[in-house]
Amino acid sequence: MKRIKNNLEKLVTRSKKRLIHIKEDHVIKEYFKNNILVFTFIITCVLNSTILRFFCMNTLENYLSVKAILADLTIVIIISAFGYLIKPKNRFTYYIIFEIFLTLICVINSVYYTFYTSFASVSMLSLTQYIGDVGDAVVENVLQLKDLIYILGPLILIFVHIKLKKKNYYKRIEVKSERKKRTFQMLGLGGALAIIFIVTLTSLDVTRFVKQWNKEYIVMRFGIYIYQANDVITSLQPKINSMFGYDQANKEFQEYFTGKDEVKTNEYTNIFEGKNVIVIHGESMQTNAMNLKFNDQEVTPTLNKLAKEGMFFSNFYSQVSVGTSSDTELTYNTSLMPTKSGTAFVSYSDRKYVATPSLLKEKGYYTFSMHANNADFWNRRAMHKNLGYDKFYSKSDYKITPDDVIGLGLNDKAFFAQSTQKIEKIAKKYENWYGLLIMLTNHTPFSETEKYGEFDVDIKETITNEDGTTEEKIHPYMEGTKLGNYFKSIHYADSALGEFITNLDEKGLLDNTVLIIYGDHDGRLPKSDYNKLYNYDKETDSLLSKEDPNYKEYDSYQYELGRKVPFIIWTKDMAGTKLNQEVTNVMGMYDAMPTLGNMFGYYNKYQLGNDIFNIKEDNIVVFPNGNWVTNKVYYNSQKGEYLSLSDEAISEDEIKNNSTYANKLLDISNNIIIFDLLKQKEEKIQE
């Protein structure tokens, strides 16, 4: 009896469970049935974005990027939630409008990517001359069958809608009172996904999102829909910034430059007139690496040789903000400072600039730039055109095999080798030419040490034992540190530069050429590594104690002063002439254009820097954060503190006057760019 009872009980519970299952299944099915249109919308929109990534960045990791799918899903679910507020019979209109809109984003980006290997930006719409150049080509060559696949999304939605309508779906899906509930349910789901997405973001994701130029990365991490929304907002920001305060800005600008157009001459005026120019943008090259040797080997023998034979500015600073490489390009070419928010190259590429390449073009030069990275990196494609380069040779102009890649792309040795061939052709075609070559390998994080070639940053010692035998002892020193890896990396870049110069010389390309080399910014290396560099105790393989008489304090001021970059002007016959000298007066990137302009015979009335041979020891270098440095003092504007650099007393007035000057200069520079003041000026002259 007991057994029968037990069995019966088991049977009842089993059937109960099955009933719950059936009920659950039923509920899910019902839910799905009632929401077919919404789900079709969600799935097709997320699928379109995934297909776009598949066509553009054809690695599995990219197009199946979970973060991107999560981001797309979040956006589409949030959009879909509001559809529930609309009456069922009109709901299709809502979804099809959004479906078409999101599909258009995918189609435009797909076409754009095929042509530019980058994603579209609304800010490009203002660069009309640029679109004019490519408009026809886009239609003829670029619109391909694959760009039409996205249209399947709206077609599927229309198909589903017709089917549903036939089945009277819209009349029976929900009662009015349920609409709000469903909206909130969907919003809740979207919100939950958004939270998961935000929590999984890294700081790199966030900085790249804010900077916006690394478009592939953003699309891979944030999906195309968030990318485009972010693009619209960042593209509008410059417009909003320039809406208020124009009159005041223009007035201050006029006042600032009144009486400043007197062209001063000095012993170097026009000394290089008519010479060809090769400018080397030395990625992350820092002056302090030039003074170092490891085991009697110089870290940068080429730079050292050029500095010794040429004109070497040893107290020279870059003046970069968040736009790093591109900020230096801006300041070097225009003698303006980086903008206070955003970056000039990305946000203000449609402004008028008075730039070195344009000025040399007016003198009959052919101007070009070369960089084996994606042309849209830092928006160079648009900005180089604006600055006056006749041609920008970028990634697609170089042969890049996987073996040739170090870090961000084509290694410097291969880059220089291929560039030499291009320069040879240019030199045959044009009498005068000016070219910028942007290096790439010596870029943070300096981690591919096995590819840089042999360069040890340890201390090797030969020890003689009591019995007369010798043995080699190795103290690890900078091995394994980021700074140590940086030395290996810059050693590689330096040797690439050396090979380049030898090749140019062999081809006779240095005979009438001036070489200009600048470090674009420091290597952003840890302060603690410098501490090790200057305070290493090889006996204990640790740091000297602060009490040790040999201990060298490396505080935040030393760090800031250590961020100097090399600036060298060199020709093959300069050694021993009056040009062969070390200039020790403090100098900034914004002084490059005035100093070089005087030597080559071009002039920018709106330069903010000075010809160092006119201003000499009175120079001041202003940094984008308001800090400044003179020969006598480094001032930290954030802390309101300074470090004296000479024995001369520093007065309060000096600090105050220099700070006022620094702030004024930053304001003027910012206003010139934001309010496009040079354009207004040009238009007035033409009237």
Which spans of this chain sit near Mn ion (rule: CB under 5 A)? 283, 324-325, 520
Torsion of CA 605, 608, 611, 615, to 10 degrees: 120
- Cβ nearer to ligand GP9, comparing 102 with 375: 375
Instruction: Please list the residues that pair with 519 across neighbouring strands.
Output: 282
- Cβ nearer to ligand GP9, comparing 111 with 440: 440
- Cβ nearer to ligand GP9, comparing 442 with 481: 442
- Element (DSSP H or E) covering residue 332: helix 324-334
Rule CB under 6 A: choose which of 157, 370, 438, 668 binds ligand GP9. 438
What are the tokens at 113? 């990517």
By CB under 6 A, is residue 489 in contact with ligand GP9? no
Count of residues in contact with ligand GP9, rule CB under 6 A: 8
- Cβ nearer to ligand GP9, comparing 324 with 481: 324
Rule CB under 6 A: choose which of 161, 413, 443, 532 binds ligand GP9. 443
Among ligand GP9, Mn ion, none, the one that 427 touches (CB under a kind-dependent 5 to 8 A) is none
- DSSP string computed for 584-613: -S-EEGGGHHHHHHHHHT---TT--S--HH
CA 208/CA 414 separation, integer angstroms: 28
By CB under 6 A, is residue 382 in contact with ligand GP9? no
Q: How far is CA 628 from CA 155, 279, 287, in A?
A: 61, 26, 19
The nearest distance, CB 219 to Mn ion, in angstroms, is 23
Among Mn ion, ligand GP9, none, the one that 118 touches (CB under a kind-dependent 5 to 8 A) is none
The nearest distance, CB 233 to ligand GP9, in angstroms, is 22
Residue 92 backbone dihedrals phi, psi, to 5 degrees = -60, -40
- Cβ nearer to ligand GP9, comparing 287 with 324: 324
Rule CB under 6 A: choose which of 35, 324, 442, 585 binds ligand GP9. 324
Phi-psi sector, 566: left (phi>0), alpha (psi -120 to 50), beta: beta
Among ligand GP9, Mn ion, none, the one that 329 touches (CB under a kind-dependent 5 to 8 A) is none
Residue 192 backbone dihedrals phi, psi, to 5 degrees = -60, -45
- Cβ nearer to ligand GP9, comparing 276 with 373: 373
The nearest distance, CB 327 to Mn ion, in angstroms, is 9
Q: At what angle do helices 36-56 and 88-116 cross, to 10 degrees?
A: 0
Among ligand GP9, Mn ion, none, the one that 47 touches (CB under a kind-dependent 5 to 8 A) is none
Sheet holding 628-629, edge to edge: 621-622, 628-629, 633-636, 641-644
CA 548/CA 537 separation, integer angstroms: 10
The nearest distance, CB 75 to ligand GP9, in angstroms, is 29
Q: How far is CA 438 from CA 288, 411, 493, in A?
A: 21, 11, 12
Identify the burial level of 1 via C-beta atoms within 10 angstroms of its C-beta, where 0-12 means exposed, 13-18 middle and 19 or more buried: exposed
160 secondary structure, DSSP code: H
By CB under 6 A, is residue 442 in contact with ligand GP9? no
- Cβ nearer to ligand GP9, comparing 161 with 521: 521
* Region of 436-444, 468-476, 553-561, 633-641 interacting with ligand GP9 (CB under 6 A): 436-444
- Cβ nearer to Mn ion, comparing 325 with 571: 325
What are the tokens at 676? 């496009």
Which residue's beta carbon is nearest to the bound Mn ion? 325
By CB under 6 A, is residue 339 in contact with ligand GP9? no
* Region of 9-17, 137-145, 438-446, 615-623 interacting with ligand GP9 (CB under 6 A): 438-446
Report the Cα 196 to chain-centroid distance in Å.
28
Rule CB under 6 A: choose which of 316, 377, 487, 554 binds ligand GP9. 377
- Cβ nearer to ligand GP9, comparing 102 with 220: 220
Among Mn ion, ligand GP9, none, the one that 377 touches (CB under a kind-dependent 5 to 8 A) is ligand GP9
Of 579, 533, 560, 527, nearest to 634 by C-alpha is 560
Binding site for ligand GP9 (CB under 6 A): 324-325, 371, 373, 377, 438, 440, 443
